[in-house]
Amino acid sequence: MSIIKVLFTAAMFLCLFLTGMAQEKYQVVDTLGIYAGDTSAIVLKHPGISAVSNPIDTTVLKKRTFSGLELVVDYGKLLLLWTEFESKYEAGINLRFFERVVLAAEFGHAELNPLRAYDNALFYTVTGNYARLGLDYYTAYNPTSFYYAGLRYGMAGFEDAGAFIIDSDYWEDYQEGFGSKNITATWGEVILGTETFIYLGKKDPDAPFSPLLLGWKFRLRFIGEFENRENPRIYSIPGYGRTFDSIVPAINFYVKYRIGN
């Protein structure tokens, strides 16, 4: 097993282990924004929903808006590391503003060995790195689950290599290699996704939110700038997909860990 596989697998389990190490905090304020002190009359009716105390005092329990960093690991790609036709690693870092708006950066590495990319190929490999940058906007489905939509701009730098053989009944078989280096591509993406808080172990009623979330997203990718080779054509782009399609759908499964308040 390569050191990169070990590091990415360890990162996934570290995110799971850290559940419960950080909590979203609550604060008690009155309707004028002044600390009220006595919270004995407050009853939290449901996680994430403000609860108003006895009308005699104006104390309100409010959840602080989360703003901070989020670490993301695509565990769906990690599950494919043990296959022979592709190895992909993808992780990201998010900066969240006012709970709803997220600036997202995603980074990945891929080594693709597509089966039957060419009928008479001895082998074919695509290797490279990619990155995406974009914005997401969130809305709550319930106090612990969310929907979101977003846009991404993606770019990749990669190379490919292969060899083919031509059989002959009358002459020696002909074999030749091919490939290109320093290939670049860009594309755009539209994203729809959902995620929810998850808990490991017993849920703490005094801290109803976990820093760990599980989610999935649907991507619709549109090719931008890319100059394909004529013969044989470049088969796929790391982070995008097959070059034969100008629109490529994809689904990602990920785990997310929130840092800060």
32 by Cβ neighbours in 10 Å (0-12 / 13-18 / 19+) ranks as exposed
- pLDDT, one tens digit per residue, over 66-124 is 678 999 999 988 877 666 677 899 999 999 987 789 999 999 999 988 766 777 778 88
- pLDDT, one tens digit per residue, over 42-59 is 333 334 444 443 333 333
> By the 8 A CB rule, do 228 and 243 touch?
yes
195 by Cβ neighbours in 10 Å (0-12 / 13-18 / 19+) ranks as buried
**Residue 15 carries which DSSP code?**
H
**Residue 76 carries which DSSP code?**
H
In this model, does residue 234 exceed pLDDT 70? yes
Lowest mean pLDDT among 108-122, 175-189, 203-217: 203-217
pLDDT-derived band at 205 (thresholds 50, 70, 90) equals low
Kindly state the tokens that stand for 140: 């709550």
Instruction: For residues 234 and 93, give the distance between their C-alpha atoms in angstroms, rounded to a whole number.
Output: 30
What is each CA distance from 153 to 106, 210, 211, in whole angstroms? 10, 30, 27
CB atoms within 10 A of CB 215: 18
Identify the architecture of domain 66-259 in CATH: Beta Barrel (2.40)
> By the 8 A CB rule, do 19 and 30 touch?
no
Averaged confidence pLDDT in the chain: 76
Domain definitions of the chain by residue range: 66-259
